[in-house]
């Protein structure tokens, strides 16, 4: 059992199941991590690895790009905004110089959500692009060009613009 709380919770947890040992771990300060790691290593059985040692993840590269973009959407936007965005990889082109061109499309529910994602003067989408490119280049070890296109499924007219639109009789 890995417990992040005080002793009272451990007593409560032990009443539901029997644990061999309880570890108090602080990820923030790194306390207890070495003890936990040593215990796990002592309990591990030697056997052949299921994956090669140089394999970082089982996800495809396309899934990894989509996951990184989704992570920034969830971190930077609140409530329902990230859930109203559909992602699609529309281009994946390796270049002769070893770099990679990735084109990603974000399909927003409407133009208001699309404008929120882009930000004023597209600052938010440029910042997201910069962060994702940096992380991908670190992970893959080669240059990445990422283009993110934001599109709206439907156009919503704001209540201020409705007064300006002439109504036909």
Asked if 63 and 70 touch (Cβ cutoff 8 Å), the reply is no
State how far the Cα of 119 lies from the Cα of 113, in Å rounded to an integer: 10
Q: What is the pLDDT of residues 63-74, one digit of tens each?
A: 999 999 999 998
Cβ atoms < 10 Å from Cβ of 47: 6
pLDDT at 163 over 80: no
46 secondary structure, DSSP code: P
Angle of helix 111-118 relative to helix 123-140, nearest 10 degrees?
60
Mean pLDDT of 107-115: 89
Q: What is the CATH number of the domain that holds 124?
A: 3.30.300.20
Do 77 and 8 share a domain, yes or no? no
Do 34 and 90 share a domain, yes or no? no
The pLDDT of residue 18: 75
């Amino acid at each position: 059992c890995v417990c992040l709380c005080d002793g009272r919770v451990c007593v409560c947890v032990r009443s539901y199941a029997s644990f061999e040992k309880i570890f108090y771990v602080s990820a923030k300060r790194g306390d207890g991590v070495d003890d936990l790691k040593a215990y796990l290593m002592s309990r591990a059985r030697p056997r052949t690895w299921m994956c090669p040692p140089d394999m970082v993840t089982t996800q495809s590269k396309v899934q990894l790009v989509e996951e990184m973009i989704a992570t920034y959407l969830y971190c930077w936007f609140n409530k329902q905004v990230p859930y109203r965005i559909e992602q699609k990889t529309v281009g994946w082109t390796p270049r002769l110089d070893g770099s990679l061109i990735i084109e990603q499309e974000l399909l927003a529910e409407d133009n208001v959500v699309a404008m929120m994602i882009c930000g004023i003067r597209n600052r938010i989408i440029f910042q997201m692009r910069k962060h994702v490119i940096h992380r991908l280049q670190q992970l893959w070890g080669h240059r990445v060009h990422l283009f993110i296109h934001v599109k709206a499924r439907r156009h919503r007219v704001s209540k201020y613009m409705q007064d300006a639109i002439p109504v036909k009789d």
